[in-house]
Amino acid sequence: MKKNGLLAAAICCCCMAGAQSTEEIKTLFPGELAVVKEHKVHYTIKLKDGIPEAVSDEQQEILYLSENAGSYMSRFSFYHSSFHPVNRYEAFTETPGGKKIQVKEFKTSQSVSASVFYDDVKQTSFDFPNITPGASGHLEINKTHTNPRLLSPHYFSRGIPTLLGELKISFPKDMSVRYQIRGNDREKVQFSTETRKGETTYTFTVKNQAKDMNYPDAPDNAYYALHAIFWIENYKSGDQLISYMANLEDLYKLQWSFVKDINKSISPELKAITDSITGGLTTAELKARGIYKWVQKNIKYVAFEEGMEGFIPREANLVCNRRFGDCKDMSSILTVMLNYAGVPAYYTWIGTRSLPYDYTDIHLPIVDNHMITAVRLDTGYVFLDGTDSHCVFGAPSGHIQGKQAMIGINEKDYKVIRVPEYAPEKSRLTDTTILELTEKGITGTVKVNMTGYFAMDMQRVMSYTNDKDREKYMKGYFNRGSNKFKLNKFEINENGNPDRFSLSGQFELFDYSKKIADEWYLNLNLFKFYEHKEIDFPKRKTPIEHEYKNSATYVTILNIPEGFKISYLPESKSYKNDVWGFDISYRQEKNQVIMTQTFTNDHLLLQPDKFQDWNKVLENLFPLYRETISLSKN
């Protein structure tokens, strides 16, 4: 019984320490290389000169589990910026024996992103010394949040599991702070509140939170990762109750403050450009079309976002001279040009599809990350996104579909309107391949017609490739059957309509069809787009994002060679459920076999409750991918 006694003592020890041993953690999260043992952030909001200011104390402890941790897991970093300056920080390693080794070298550099050319976000990096399995890295950071309106949501999950996550928010008791919990596993958040000595503290605790799974086709983690959004609703200054971010009006007041002082005058050059575009045009719509096109073509996207530059659009006159700008600058120049031309146009804020929030749910700056221009025509509002150089007038730019827009009418008035989603029948692709069987193999032609986002995407590709790159691109675009596809010739049939695009090409495809004795074998499924596209159901809990709704038809026509007849023709089949479906049909018309496949996607975001039905369609589809036709001698 000695053994058991020891075990009991060990368990008891653990209980007393109130912590799990490394071995227990390994059992809890098998196969993980590291876990966040503890992540605690405590925000303290106080009034400074009558205005709220927040300070945060953050502590995290990373426990290393991998045997190889020492060789590659020491690197760690954190971020800060002019709105969230870091006051002090400290990091150390705690060895399994309990010894502390301080980090001495920290390096701070600018954090460079692909989309923003220049901003003031900084990254401080360092290495935890002496990392071994069972060692833990501790980091403590104290930051000031100069403008608590810009507080970021707190995430309880990340790429590795978190054993204990805690968010505390302390604030004066006559201040009102609200919160919302978002993402999966909301029920895991335990909330408590207490008020002591004139200060209220909210505590949110999450235990044993699994890691976020990374799927390349998932939307931004704000859609599914567990997080808390919190904000100051109002506070007392003297006897006065000040509304801070209590409602949409408060948010609008903030937004308007960014634009109220800009564009007080319009330069002769910008006037001249606008006049030259709109001269002779009689309707507001035609003028708006012309101005939008000019901005799309002439103003290139380059983003400088240092400090308040991240919020205040630049003067339209400057944007015009420089011929570049970020989204706010494009909104600025569009709005000024349109208004000058007599078309009612407004600065408009919007969150792109990478943010899941609606203004009507949350009235904080985190709801949006983008600016556009809304134009009021007789038919209603049209949304113009200057950053999308190939968006067709009237269509929403792809990344704002379905999102609420906040249209700034004037200092007092604004409207919140939802940008429509573009219906699948508006983005159509029809791809027709005609195949000829020759002794050497297949030769053929392809014709592709596109509308909507298919066409806009293609126009974009065309404008950013030169003739040299285009050949390479087209070889990939036309490719079908196998990688022995050889594109001999292609033609782009431009008709001046940005909402249409068509292409044609001639190719050879050897070793795809098989001729044995007097029989030909050939699989007309030249594309198997959905092969291996089953969703990892039920494990996957994160939605799937599709760029746009669409409908695609692929037609394959085989000319039956002289002296041959069809000896096997696969059956036609269609399968549809509430989520999606397909039609595949085979038919013979004179000396041709015509196979048609149609797929429609009516989802921008496919939620996990639809995954099973999605997979069901694939189950029905896959056997059809393996159907080959055969031709034999007459």
Partner 1 sequence: MKRVLLSLVFISGLTTVLFAQEIERESWAGQPVLHTIDSKYNEESAVIVLDKRRMEYIDVKDELAVYKTLHRIIHINDDKGIESFNRVYLPVSDNSDIVDIRARTILPSGKIIEVSKENIKDLKEEEDVYKIFAMEGLVKGCEVEFYYTYKRNTGFFGAEIFQGRTPVLEARFDLIAPDRLVFEMRPFNSTVKPLDTMVGQKKWLTIVEKNIPGVEEEKYSAYQAGLKRFEYKLAYNTSRTTKDRLFTWDELAKRVYSNYTTVTDKETKRTNDLVGDMKVKDLSSEVEKISATEHYLKTKFTTREDIGGEDAMNLEKVIKSKLASHVGIVRLYSAVFRQLGIAHEFVLAGDRNKFTIEKNFENWNNTDNPLIYFPSLKKYLAPTLPEFRFPWIDPNWGGTNAFFCKSTTIGEYTTAFGEIRVIPLEDYSKSMSNVDAEVSLSKNLDTVLVSISQIYAGYSAAAYRSIFNYNSEENIKLVTKEMIKFGTNSENVISSKVENKDFESFNQNKPFILSAVVKASELMERAGNKLIIKIGDIIGQQVEMYQEKPRQFSMEIDFPHVLERHIRFTIPDGYTVKNLEDIKISHVVTEKGQPTVGFTSTYVLEGNVVKIHIMEEYRKTSYPLSQFEEFKKVINAAADFNKVVLVLEKK
Residues at the site binding partner 1, with contacts judged by CB under 8 A = 30-33, 66-68, 70-72, 74-75, 101, 104-105, 107-110, 112, 117-118, 127, 129-132, 213, 298, 300, 302, 304, 306, 321-324, 463-469, 475, 482-484, 486-487, 511-512, 514, 516-517, 521, 523, 531-532, 534, 567-568, 622, 625-630
Contact 585, 596 (CB under 8 A): yes
Nearer to partner 1, 87 or 482 (CB): 482
In the complex, what is the shortest distance from the CB of residue 439 to partner 1, in angstroms, rounded to a whole number? 15
Nearer to partner 1, 105 or 609 (CB): 105
Nearer to partner 1, 226 or 487 (CB): 487
Size of the chain in residues:
634
Quick one: tokens of 318?
């400057």
Nearer to partner 1, 251 or 291 (CB): 291
Question: Parallel, antiparallel, or unpaired: how do β-strands 300-301 and 324-325 relate?
Answer: parallel
Distances (CA, A) of 203 to 176, 211, 436: 15, 22, 71
The DSSP result for 356-394, as a single string, is ---TTT--SGGG--EEEEEEEETTEEEEE-TT-TTPPTT
Q: Which uninterrupted H or E stretch holds 159? A: none
Question: In Å, how far from its chain's centre is CA 212?
Answer: 16
- Bridge partners of 416, per DSSP, are 406
Nearer to partner 1, 58 or 127 (CB): 127
In the complex, what is the shortest distance from the CB of residue 70 to partner 1, in angstroms, rounded to a whole number? 4
Nearer to partner 1, 118 or 191 (CB): 118
3 state SS of 100: strand
Nearer to partner 1, 46 or 616 (CB): 616
- Can you tell me which residue has the tokens 């859609």? 223
Peptide bond into 538 cis (omega under 30): yes
In the complex, what is the shortest distance from the CB of residue 625 to partner 1, in angstroms, rounded to a whole number? 8
In the complex, what is the shortest distance from the CB of residue 192 to partner 1, in angstroms, rounded to a whole number? 33
Nearer to partner 1, 16 or 517 (CB): 517
Half-sphere exposure of residue 213: CA atoms within 13 angstroms, side-chain side: 11
In the complex, what is the shortest distance from the CB of residue 582 to partner 1, in angstroms, rounded to a whole number? 18
CA neighbor of 403 nearest in space, from 351, 335, 452: 351
In the complex, what is the shortest distance from the CB of residue 219 to partner 1, in angstroms, rounded to a whole number? 20
CA neighbor of 427 nearest in space, from 171, 602, 624: 602
Contact 256, 411 (CB under 8 A): yes
Nearer to partner 1, 292 or 346 (CB): 292
Contact 392, 382 (CB under 8 A): no
In the complex, what is the shortest distance from the CB of residue 38 to partner 1, in angstroms, rounded to a whole number? 20
In the complex, what is the shortest distance from the CB of residue 452 to partner 1, in angstroms, rounded to a whole number? 22
In the complex, what is the shortest distance from the CB of residue 161 to partner 1, in angstroms, rounded to a whole number? 10
Quick one: tokens of 589?
């018309």
Nearer to partner 1, 76 or 381 (CB): 76
In the complex, what is the shortest distance from the CB of residue 466 to partner 1, in angstroms, rounded to a whole number? 5
113: CB partners within 8 A, 6+ apart: 119, 121
79: CB partners within 8 A, 6+ apart: 111, 121, 122, 123, 124
Contact 278, 290 (CB under 8 A): yes
Q: Can you tell me the distance from the alpha carbon of 551 to that of 421, in angstroms, rounded to the nearest whole number?
A: 14
In the complex, what is the shortest distance from the CB of residue 420 to partner 1, in angstroms, rounded to a whole number? 29
- Bridge partners of 628, per DSSP, are none
Contact 511, 441 (CB under 8 A): yes
What strands, in cross-sheet order, belong to the sheet with 107-110? 75-80, 122-127, 107-110
Nearer to partner 1, 173 or 322 (CB): 322
